[in-house]
Amino acid sequence: MIIWINGAFGSGKTTLVTEVHRRLPEALVFDPENVGFLLREIVEVPGGDFQNIPLWRRQVASLAQGLVEEYGRPVLAPMTVVRRQYADEIFGALEKAGVPVHHFFLNVSAPVLEQRLHDRVLLPDDPERDEAARRWGKARIAECVAAVGSLREDTVVLDGELPTAELAGLVLERARP
């Protein structure tokens, strides 16, 4: 089983996965972004977004499937995927392989996202890269907020402005193996 936590940059995906993992310690945490970082070292990334690389989408699905099959444990994946076509490719491959996916989307208002991203520090030792990451997230707020209207039908939309502990409870209630 995969618990995929989706939402805008700054919506609290990683924080929520950390709390869910605390409550479900046998789960594996898989950040699909790392697949993108690896690809970025090997090939040019169209438009600066590794999700535009079909190989990224295939590898994310393949690795998530492999983790479930090889280790027989739940997999927690915090990753923004707001393009419906890309979500369909990843989740469709997992469904075809018989891997259950519980897809959650943290719905957070644009002003709250803007503030969270303003306050967030990802790379304290590299202020230039930290600011670049902040700009990247802020530039995608509108796209991410609008994505709520085109999510897959099986997506559970959660109020991402609720306390993390409450959100973790809702996720586990819906996805408990």
pLDDT of residue 177: 61
pLDDT of residue 123: 83
- Residue 75 tokens read as 């997999």
CATH class of 2-175: alpha beta
Q: What is the pLDDT of residue 130?
A: 82
CB 75 within 8 A of CB 107: no
Mapped onto helix, strand or coil, the DSSP state of residue 140 is coil
Provide the residue type at 78 as one letter: P
Which three-class secondary structure state does DSSP give residue 115? helix
Residue 57, Cα to own-chain centre: how many angstroms?
13
pLDDT for the residue numbered 25: 97
Q: Copy the structure tokens of residue 149.
A: 């209207």
Whether this model's pTM surpasses 0.85: yes
- Would you state the pLDDT for residue 154? 93
Low-confidence ranges of the chain (pLDDT < 50): none
Q: CB count, 10 Å around CB of 35?
A: 22
Question: Considering Cα of 147, then 153, then 156, then 157, what sign does the dihedral take?
Answer: positive
C-alpha torsion sign, points 88, 117, 139, 124: negative
Write down the domain spans for the chain.
2-175
- In whole angstroms, what is the distance from residue 149 CA to residue 141 CA? 14
